[in-house]
Every structure is written in C-alpha cells, then in structure tokens.
Amino acid sequence: MMDIFEEKDKVRLCDEIAAFFKEEHDLELGIIGTGKILDFFQEMLGDRIYNKALDDAKRFYARYADNMEADYYALYKDVK
C-alpha cells in the first residue's frame, strides 16, 4: 500500500488520533498504535474517497461544460 500522506501530515494525523482516543475513550495510544489506526483507515477508505473525489470532479466539469456550451451559443448574433 502506498502512503498518501507526507510524513509531517502523518505525524499530525497520528497526534489527532491519539487525542481523539484519549478524549473519547480515555485510552493512551502511542506512535505505533496511532500509525496502525491511520493505516487501517487509509486502506479501508482510501479507494472509496478517491472514487468519490473523481465522481465529484466529473459532476463539476459536466456543469462547467454545460455552462460553457450555453455561453458559446450566447455569442451568436441574430441573423436577418
């Protein structure tokens, strides 16, 4: 599995995971534990999030293309 996070981002995310488990479950997690949790969610959700982003981009560009087509026809001049 390829890491999708830069090292500094991974450290920050692991810190946030540790804070969440401490606050919500009163559990102290170390670097290895938080790293495994991050890896687990990356593996379980990464492809789904990626595909959702592609779907969102497709919808955005479809709307953009529709607007561009309308703008194109708005440039036409009336012919007598």
Residue 56 is predicted with a pLDDT of: 96
H-run or E-run covering 67? helix 31-74
- The model scores a pTM over 0.75: no
SS3 state of residue 57? helix
Residue ranges per domain, the chain? 7-74
Residue 27 is predicted with a pLDDT of: 96
3-state SS string for 7-48: HHHHHHHHHHHHHHHHHHHCCCCCHHHHHHHHHHHHHHHHHH
Tell me what percent of the residues of the chain surpass a pLDDT of 70.
98
pLDDT in tens, 18-40: 999 999 999 999 999 999 999 99
Q: How far apart are CA 7 and CA 14, in angstroms?
A: 10
Q: Is the pLDDT confidence value at 1 over 80?
A: no
